[in-house]
Amino acid sequence: MPTQKEKTLINFKKAQGLISKITEMVKNNEYCIDIMQQNLAVIGLLKSAHQMLMEGHLNSCFKKAMKTKNEKRKQEMIKEILEVTKLFNK
C-alpha cells in the first residue's frame, strides 16, 4: 500500500502529465470545454495533494510543535496553518 508521501507524489505527477496534455490541446485549438474539463481534473489533483500535505504536516510538524513548552513556536505554527488555509481558500 502506498504511503501518504507516495500518494501525494502520484497526484503531482498525474497533474504534471495533464498540464502537458492541456498545453498541447490549447496549441491544437481543441474544443474549449474539453480543455476546461482537463483543467478541472488538474485542480482536483492539486487540491487532493494539498490536503494530503496538510494532513501530513498536522500529524508530524504541527503535532510536535504543540507538544513543546515553547509558546512562541506554537503561535508561529498556528499562524502558518492559518496563512496556508487562507491562501487555499482564495
CATH number at residue 37: 1.20.58.1000
Query: Could you report how far apart the first and last alpha carbons of the chain are, in Å?
Result: 34
| Distance between CA atoms of residues 5 and 8, nearest Å | 5
Q: Provide the pLDDT for residue 1.
A: 79
> How many domains is the chain partitioned into structurally?
1
- In eight-state DSSP terms, residue 62 is I
Give the sign of the dihedral formed by CA 37, CA 15, CA 54, CA 90. negative
Domain range for residue 76? 4-88
Q: What is the pLDDT along the chain (90 residues), one digit of tens a residue?
A: 789 999 999 999 999 999 999 999 999 999 999 999 999 999 999 999 999 999 999 999 999 999 999 999 999 999 999 999 999 988
Yes or no: say if 22 and 39 are a contact pair by the CB < 8 Å rule.
Answer: yes
Q: Whole-model pTM? A: 0.87
